[in-house]
Amino acid sequence: MPGRRKLSEENLMAIPFFKMQGLGNDYIYIVADACPATPASMIRRMSDRHFGIGSDGVVFVLPAGGKTADVRMRMFNSDGTEAEMCGNAVRCVGKLAYEQGLARVNPLRVETAAGIKVLDLRIRDGVVSGARVDMGKPELRPSRVPVALEGDAKHCIGHRLDAGNGVRVEVSAVSMGNPHAVLFVDDVGEADVHGLGTRLERHPFFPRHTNVEFAQIIDRNTVRLRVWERGAGETLACGTGACATAVACVLNGFTDRKVDVRLPGGSLYIEWDEDTGHVFMTGPAETVFTGSWPENLCQEQENK
């Protein structure tokens, strides 16, 4: 089975990887001592669904930077850009770390660019089927999401925004360590996810770009959701997006604090605890297959 190894020049010809998915949000996971210095071209080629392995991006599982976490993750979108955090990916990191003996503890603490996430792993006979993740407190302050909202507003909920092409939308901006713009629609099946998602992702109102959620309220405890992910396009599921949507639902008065979020790839159970302010996400994690990437990872970069 693939294990941790150093990504050095002498072993770039055969990099072991794990292909894993959480509700169809699939990434390539590489266990290593360090992340390559210039991984963008490698990630684009590995993520390509026609000429590569195929994925929503690549996640490096690394040694923790200190004693406060058990492992560390760095994640990159399929376009090669780095993201702070992915809720579906962090569950898969927990599964991989536990089953491969990198950190055989429970709860398990994963260091991310959006802080440390604590995972309560669902384990049976040594196999991890999923996890309940403490995703921390949502960030609502406009300057911290961030959004380009002038004044001293405490949050950006139901903000009217010109989305281009003569379309105006209401967005609720929430950060779960990465930025999200939640839109409420009558029918997610009819929503212009690709058109609006493309325009809003790089809208000037979002200085670090944004993920875009299209949410349909079913009842006080159920939401249907489609997500346009920053740097990846529409995906089958987004953990941080489901969390941000649940927060936006509560703040807009649409749902209670415990919500079943139904995405194209399956459901996530989200709880926004009133006492602690923390958001908890429960969902599955699955290994699809393992293999080795045979191409020299620096070749494309060197040929430019």
**Per residue, what are the HEC states of 108-172?**
EEEEECCEEEEEEEEEECCEEEEEEEECCCCECCCCCCCCCCCCCCCCEEEEEEEEECCEEEEEE
DSSP, res 138:
P
Longest Cα–Cα distance of the chain, Å, equals: 57
Helix 239-251, helix 87-99: angle, nearest 10: 140
Q: Which one is catalytic: 35, 92, 156, 238?
A: 238
Going by DSSP bridges, is the β-strand pair 108-112/71-77 parallel, antiparallel, or unpaired? Answer: parallel
- Is 238 known to be catalytic? yes
Distance CA 265, CA 280 (A): 19
Q: Which one is catalytic: 86, 92, 156, 249?
A: 86
**Residues labelled catalytic:** 86, 238
